[in-house]
Amino acid sequence: MMLRRVLLAVRRLTLAVMLALACATAVFLPFAGRYLVREDPLVGADVIVVLDGARAERWMEAVDLYKAGYAPVIVLSPGRMEDAEVILRARGIRYPTNASLARDAMVQMGVNASAIILPEASVDNTGQEAEMLRAQAAARGWRSILVITSKYHSRRAGFAFRREFRESGIAISLRTTRYDVSDPAHWWRHRADMRYVLSELQKLIVYRLGVGG
């Protein structure tokens, strides 16, 4: 009889916790899009860093900031190189990456080619991008970095970069691109926004647990 009462109490407690979580989720979700957007005041820096993950909207923001004098150098994240791309290079076949295409377009828009850095690397996620940039900063003596990304990616990107540059003495500022047409206040109205927000929420949880890359 005692065991039965304990099991019943545990079941009721579990249901109550699940109900509370469901209610909290329902209250939070409408604000999830705006929660994911986080940026710092716009300040000058030694370098502008464009994170991988968008075709044009991120590097276009970097061009505007470069022309406005916020930094003299732009680094384009190389992104992840597929195994097939490695095979093509080994065969001597020139296959342009997204970053190299962006560099060519940026030069056409008036950015000095010598001001664009495209590291020879392959990075699979935001954490690896932060690691790569820390190595670049140490080698080149950069003391301030302005990171450019898209709206929904900004909170997680800021967390990853500040985690990587903690105690480095290098200042990190993060900005979202004005060319991102996402609608954080009404993210559930657009299928693309829904996919991005739900994906970012999951990744952010993993980051907060200390196991995200």
Q: Which residue has the higher pLDDT, 145 or 206?
A: 145
38-208: which CATH number, 3.40.50.620, 1.10.3720.10, 3.40.50.720, 3.40.50.300? 3.40.50.620
- Span 113-119, average pLDDT: 97
pLDDT of residue 17: 43
Where do the domains of the chain lie?
38-208
Per-residue pLDDT tens digits for 139-163: 999 999 999 999 999 999 999 999 9
pLDDT > 80? residue 73: yes
Show the 3-state SS of the chain. Answer: CHHHHHHHHHHHHHHHHHHHHHHHHHHHHHHHHHHHCCCCCCCCCCEEEECCCCCCHHHHHHHHHHHCCCCCCEEECCCCCCHHHHHHHHCCCCCCCHHHHHHHHHHHCCCCHHHEECCCCCCCCHHHHHHHHHHHHHHHCCCEEEEEECCCCHHHHHHHHHHHCCCCCCEEEEEECCCCCCCHHHHHHCHHHHHHHHHHHHHHHHHHCCCCC
pLDDT of residue 208: 73
